Structure formats: structure tokens, C-alpha cells
Amino acid sequence: MKIAVYSAQPYDRRFLDEARQRYAVDAAYFSDPLTLDTVPLAQGCAAVCVFVNDQLDAAVLQALHALGVRAVLLRCAGFNQVDLRAAANLGLFMARVPAYAPEAVAEHALALAMTLNRHTHRAYARVREGNFSLDGLLGMTLNGKTVGIVGAGQIGTAAARIFKGLGCTVLVSDPAPTPQLDGVATRANLDELLAASDIVSLHCPLMEATRHMINAASLARMKPGAMLVNTSRGALIDTAAVIDALKSRQLGALAIDVYEQEANLFFHDHSSDIIADDVFQRLMTFPNVLVTGHQGFFTIEAMREIAAVTFDNLACHMNGTPCANLLPASS
Ligand code: NAI
């Protein structure tokens, strides 16, 4: 069995090769993302392994199937980029890594909020230049503040516990029951949460119902000057509306690890390129905006878990054994 690994960075190769030792599987690594144009790279492979920004629409899935690919292994939790109906019609084995280190992403949300609140990123640069002025570095004490967690699944639950540990009042908004947060957080509907929170942190999946859930109307309902943190998926936020809210100062600060158009930017070095995305470049001009390039998951523990579960999923496919990590429509 041979698999084609798309969007492969050197660190992916390191951890996937480590996990691969346990299985009789060959791997071909490609730094290119999976698109219709790069499907032929999977020639001779029975499975492909993909990441968050690889294309898995009907055309790509059909082309992979025609090439002989029978299994698609997502080395991520989110699967908003997959045409589930097309996958089911083709009978493809589609599996993901549903939870690899929820705490890693929750800790990154905290890191973003802490950095932006206390301006440590600006202080770091200043001090290295011999500038010890505190002007512009004023933050707020998080103890006693209200933090709103939108989506209290695995990552949201970890985030709620972390912020509770800081002495914050934690509100959660989630259509599903949240008994695991009894005594930690109080349930609220989205409007109540937006109105009351000093920090709003997004942890729900991207679906049609959640696309642009943070838009001009919801931003207007937020507490003036509050901070918005998004480590989930970029399209939860209407970026143009967020820019307007930052300009009017209704939104006090924005920290994002994900961006709606990130597929054209993230995971690659564009430091010598002219970046054509004017919306992204406008975001970069705000002193109260902090962006990281989708690194919330990026810890040693998470990378090991992703690689191990990816090959466990492949083993289920090869051996015909039940797989707990199938995507919904292919189960
Ligand atoms: P999960 O499936 O455990 O939890 C998602 C929660 O969101 C569920 O409890 C669900 O009921 C809730 N939800 C659904 N619709 C909602 C709505 N309209 N409002 C509020 N809550 C809603 O997922 P998990 O593992 O916690 O991951 C959350 C998201 O984090 C993923 O979908 C993925 O997009 C993102 N993620 C980001 C990573 C990064 O590196 N930045 C890494 C891993 C995941």
C-alpha cells in the first residue's frame, strides 16, 4: 500500500514517518496542496493524506477515485472542505483525526488573548531596540473578567477550564448540552454572551449555519472594546465587518489563528512575495490585531497523535475493521 501525502511540510514528514514504521505502508510526500491539478501526483497510490486547506470537492474526489484512490485520510479534525455526498456516492473511505490535543488549541487561544492583552509581542520588539517605554502597553487584569466561549466541544471545554483557572467568569454558548462544564461555566445564548463578554473565543465548527456568525449585527451586540479570538475556522468571521468594527473601535482587539482566505497564504513563506490580499493586509495595519498562521494544533504531542491516528485509520481501511473516525456521510 502506498499513500500520497499532500501539503506535506518537513514536520509532517518527520511525525508521519515515525508512525509509519508500525505499518507496511510507503509514502510519497508532496508540498503541493491537493487540487484538481495535483490529483495526478497520487498515481499508483491507494490512499491520500490531506490537511485543512486541501480541496476535497466533488471534482477532486471523482478524479482521485478514477485514479484508483479508495481512502482519504484527513490529518485534521475539521472537514468543512469535504463534499460528503460526493464521497459517499463514490464509496470512498474518509476518516479524520477528531481530537488530537484539544488543550493545545485552547492553550493557543489563551496565548493569543494574553499576548494581545498585555502587548508582549510589541514589548519584545521594543526592548530589543532599547526602548523601555510602557506607553501603549496598558492591558487589563483578566482575573474577574467575563470570557464567552462559543462552541463548548473538546477545545471549547478546555478553553473554558483554562479561563476559569485564571479567575474569569466563563459563559458558554452551544446548542448541545454541556454537563461537563457544570460548576465551571454558565450557559447563555449567543446574544447574551456577546453582550456580557470582555473576551469572546470561537470554538464551534464551520458549517452553513455558523458561516459569518460574527458579522456587522453580532459585532454591534458585543460589549464595546471587547476582544475577539478565533482559533476555529476563518469563515466564522466576516472579515470586512470586523475591519469596520475595529475602525469604529466597537471591537477593541482581534486575535486570529485562522483566516477566511488563508488557503492562499498560510503554511508557506511569502516573505519575499507581494501579498495581493488587501483585506489581510488591512488587518496587518492595526496595532490591536494579532494573527498567527493556523498553528493552534502545532505541538509535539498533537503531531504525534495526528500521525498515529492517521495510520490507525488507514489500518482499519486495509484490514476491513471498524473505524471510529469515519466522516459522517461515509459511515
Ligand atoms: P467539537 O466537535 O468537539 O466541538 C464543537 C462544538 O461546537 C460542539 O459542542 C457543537 O455542539 C458546537 N456548536 C455547533 N454549532 C454551534 C453554534 N452555532 N454555536 C455554538 N456552538 C456550536 O470540535 P473541537 O474539537 O472542539 O474543534 C472545534 C473547531 O476547532 C473545529 O471545528 C476546527 O474548526 C477548529 N480547530 C482548529 C485548530 C487549529 O489549529 N487552530 C485545530 C483543531 C480544530
The answer to whether residues 241 and 305 belong to one domain is no
The pLDDT score that the predictor gives to residue 331 is 44
Query: In this predicted model, what pLDDT tens digit does every residue of 133-162 receive, in sequence order?
Result: 999 999 999 999 999 999 999 999 999 999
In a domain, residue 150? The reply is: yes
Residues in the chain: 331
Whether 91 and 147 map to the same domain: the answer is no
**78 CB near ligand 1 (under 6 Å):** yes
pLDDT of residue 193: 98
| Predicted confidence (pLDDT) at residue 244 exceeds the cutoff of 50 | yes
Q: Do both 109 and 256 map to the same domain?
A: yes
What is the percent of the chain with per-residue pLDDT over 70, rounded to a whole number? Answer: 99
Considering Cα of 21, then 27, then 30, then 36, what sign does the dihedral take?
A: negative
pLDDT in tens, 209-231: 999 999 999 999 999 999 999 99
148 lines ligand 1 (CB under 6 A): no
Q: Is 233 a catalytic residue?
A: yes
pLDDT exceeds cutoff 50 at 291: yes
State the CATH number of the domain containing residue 133.
3.40.50.720
Active site residue 192: no
User: For all residues of the chain together, what is the average pLDDT?
Assistant: 96
| Cβ neighbour number for residue 184 with a 10 Å cutoff | 17
Quick one: which atom of ligand 1 is closest to the CA of 231? Answer: 41
Question: What per-residue confidence (pLDDT) applies to 4?
Answer: 98
| Cα of 153 from ligand 1 centre, angstroms | 6
Neighbours of 293 (CB within 10 A): 15
pTM of the full predicted structure? 0.93
Instruction: Name the residue range of residue 235's domain.
Output: 102-291
Q: What secondary structure letter does DSSP report for 132?
A: -
Count of structural domains, the chain: 2
Residue 78 is predicted with a pLDDT of: 86
Q: How far apart are CA 32 and CA 262, in angstroms?
A: 15
Q: Are residues 190 and 152 in the same domain?
A: yes
**Dihedral angle over CA of 37, 43, 49, 50, nearest 10:** 0
Residue 106, in any domain of the structure: yes
Within-domain flag for 268? yes
Distance 264 CA to ligand 1 centre (A): 23
State the distance from the centre of ligand 1 to the C-alpha of 246, rounded, in angstroms. 25
DSSP state of 238: -
Catalytic residue (choose from 103, 107, 260, 262): 262
pLDDT in tens, 47-82: 999 999 999 999 999 999 999 999 999 999 889 899
**Lookup: cell for 152:** 463548548
pLDDT value of residue 329: 67
pLDDT tens track for 88-129: 999 999 999 998 889 999 999 999 999 999 999 999 999 999
The letter for the amino acid at 221 is: R
